[in-house]
Amino acid sequence: MATRKRKIRRQRGSRMHGWGVCGQHRDSGMRGGRGNAGRFKHKKTKTSQYEKPGKHGFKNPTTPIQSGIINVGELDRLVKPMDIQDKKLPINLNLASLGYAKLLGKGLVKIPLNVQVEKTSKSAAKKITDAGGSITSKIR
């Protein structure tokens, strides 16, 4: 294309460059609003052409948070320090009333405990009985 035939050369001195009188090319009126304005009204054809309906992408499945599970090593913080000082051993501990449903065997048992819980692992039951306590539950 020759330079002399380009639009910018042809329209030198025309003031409006083909866009009419009084700023008809200005603002958002020429394009039906700015951006996504009217995308469900007068720009509906663009929506159906480029934005496909329905779900898109991948949602990573999250692992459920397990509640009501406690380890043997965490039982010490549930026991009040007053009970240990008074030498009322073994200490009675009802985990069901504290909101725990299952006792697992991670950690160490330092004091003898009488534990009441709904479910227990074999390793947790062994650790409590080895420490001089007892357990009342269904062993899994």
Digit-coded pLDDT (tens) for 79-129: 876 566 666 678 888 888 888 999 999 999 888 889 999 999 999 999 999
- Rounded Cα distance, 131 and 114, in Å: 10
83 and 133 together in one domain = yes
Same domain, residue pair 46 and 10: yes
89 and 119 both lie in a single domain: yes
Same domain, 80 and 123: yes
Region label for 18, one of left (φ > 0), alpha (ψ between -120 and 50) or beta (otherwise): left
User: Is there a single domain that holds both residue 36 and residue 85?
Assistant: no
Say yes or no to pLDDT of 72 above 70: yes
Domain that holds residue 86: 69-139
CATH value at residue 119: 3.100.10.10
CATH number of the domain enclosing 12? 4.10.990.10
pTM of the predicted model as reported, rounded to 2 decimal places: 0.50
